[in-house]
Amino acid sequence: MLAALSQVKDPELGRDLVTLGMVQNVRVRDGAVGLTLVLTTPACPMRGQIQEAAEVAVRGIPGVNDVRVEMSSRVAARAGAPGEDLVPGVKNIVAVASGKGGVGKSTVATNLAVALAQMDASVGLLDADIYGPSIPTMMGATERPAVKKERLLPVARHGVKLMSLGFLLEASAPVIWRGPMVAGAIRQLLSDVDWGDLDYLLVDLPPGTGDAQLTLAQSVPLTGVVVVMTAQDVALSIATKALMMFRKMDVPVLGVVENMSSFVCPHCREETAIFGREGDGERAATRLDVPFLGRVPLEPAIVAEGDRGTPSVAARPDSRPAQAFRDIARTMAGRISILNLNRDGALSGK
């Protein structure tokens, strides 16, 4: 049985199912075989392909006349997490960053978080933009967090646990803080919040390469960073600086997302490139030598949905942007699984 399944490889991880420890709960009776394949993420983009390949491999064993392959998942944890860091129950912390403002980074962060939650992953979203917190509005949450045993309890929306300084301040109150206070606030939003057990904690960073980015990278073990950009020369130039900063801090770059890649006309549904030529984002990723996670078209409804607190993947799951966000979430989750392969070639699912 295991010999047959050892011939089946996970297409993304490049290792066989047995070596990766994915094969569990094997049952054999009167020619009928049942088993469970434990994937490294519920967002696995190759789920169906892996299941079909396993069924074919087992059916090829003499005497087997029936095969039932059940699919499960256990998200792999980044090496060293959970453990000594500020958020011991979180398996993977992913920063969502941009070199400049106005590229739709928070829109990408909220939609990726909800997309992962819709795929049955346990997900949190931290708003680390201290000066301009937007996650409460974009996720439709305005209430103050409850407190239990001197720790804040995240607010929940769309299946995602949320925390933001915006929950703790008056909506119109400006934040006039120097760098050390910003760094302290971010550490508190990590350590003083009862995040519980999470597969993924996405952190929506402010634009640029300042205190928030440095604090996050130095405080917790980041699994990786997703960089959001538009297909503009100036956006590419500044995004390059953000990438270089994370590389200098030894944070893996999961990939680049090209947001607002084209404008979708609400009347004729045609797409028009508004920042550059189609494919500029992918070409930029190639020049930067980082993976390209995907592109998201711009539709006018995305703005209204953000203002109403309902991300596109929840508001219009069949729309082009929603489909793009789900594809990017799956690709990102696959990249995380690859990075979490340990030295022995097995996956840690702590």
CA 246 to chain centre: 17
**Confidence label for 350 from pLDDT (cuts 50, 70 and 90):** very low
Q: Where are the beta strands (DSSP E) in 165-288?
A: 200-204, 224-229, 253-264, 271-272
CB 23 within 8 A of CB 8: no
Tell me which residue of 127, 132, 212 sits closest to 171, measured CA to CA. 132
Rounded to whole angstroms, the maximal C-alpha distance in the chain is 73
Q: How many other β-carbons are positioned within 10 Å of the β-carbon of residue 349?
A: 15
- Distance (Å, whole) CA 232 – CA 254: 21
- pLDDT, greater one: 139 or 287: 139
Arithmetic mean of pLDDT, 293-302: 91
Say which residues have a Cβ less than 8 Å from residue 210's Cβ, sequence separation at least 6: 179
CB 56 within 8 A of CB 62: no
Arithmetic mean of pLDDT, 78-87: 63
- Give the tokens for residue 131: 């000066």
Give the chain's mean pLDDT: 86
Burial of 5 (0-12, 13-18, 19+ CB in 10 A): buried
Asked whether residue 83 carries a pLDDT value surpassing 50, the answer given is no
Structural domains of the chain sorted by starting position, each given as residue range(s) with its CATH number in brackets: 2-73 (3.30.300.130), 93-339 (3.40.50.300)
pLDDT for residue 118: 97
pLDDT for residue 341: 75
b (16+ CB within 10 A) / e for 285-314 = beebebbbbbbbbbbeebeebbeebbbbbb
Tell me which residue of 292, 291, 311 sits closest to 303, measured CA to CA. 311
Q: What is the pLDDT of residues 112-136, one digit of tens each?
A: 999 999 999 999 999 988 777 899 9
Asked whether residue 73 carries a pLDDT value surpassing 50, the answer given is yes
Arithmetic mean of pLDDT, 263-291: 77
Arithmetic mean of pLDDT, 32-56: 91
Asked whether residue 190 carries a pLDDT value surpassing 50, the answer given is yes
Q: What is the pLDDT of residues 249-269, one digit of tens each?
A: 889 999 999 988 887 777 787
Asked whether residue 179 carries a pLDDT value surpassing 80, the answer given is no
The SS3 of residue 267 is coil
Q: Compute the Cα dihedral for 11, 16, 20, 26 and give only its sign.
A: positive
**Confidence label for 343 from pLDDT (cuts 50, 70 and 90):** very low
Tell me which residue of 12, 33, 7 sits closest to 340, measured CA to CA. 12
CB 108 within 8 A of CB 98: no
Residue with tokens 């508190």: 188
Q: How many other β-carbons are positioned within 10 Å of the β-carbon of residue 274?
A: 14
Residue with tokens 């995040």: 195
pLDDT for residue 243: 83
H-run or E-run covering 50: helix 47-59
**Confidence label for 108 from pLDDT (cuts 50, 70 and 90):** very high
**Percent of residues, the chain, with pLDDT higher than 70:** 89
Asked whether residue 39 carries a pLDDT value surpassing 60, the answer given is yes
**Confidence label for 175 from pLDDT (cuts 50, 70 and 90):** low
- Distance (Å, whole) CA 201 – CA 199: 7
Task: Tell if the pTM clears 0.85, that is, is over it.
Answer: yes
Arithmetic mean of pLDDT, 207-227: 81
Q: What is the dihedral of CA 279, 284, 286, 292, to 10 degrees?
A: -70
68-72, 124-128, 229-233: least confidently modelled range: 229-233
pLDDT for residue 173: 55
| Highest mean pLDDT, choosing among 8-12, 52-56, 208-212, 241-245 | 52-56
39-43, 152-156, 331-335: least confidently modelled range: 39-43
**Percent of residues, the chain, with pLDDT higher than 90:** 49
Q: Compute the Cα dihedral for 319, 296, 226, 335 and give only its sign.
A: positive
Arithmetic mean of pLDDT, 188-205: 92
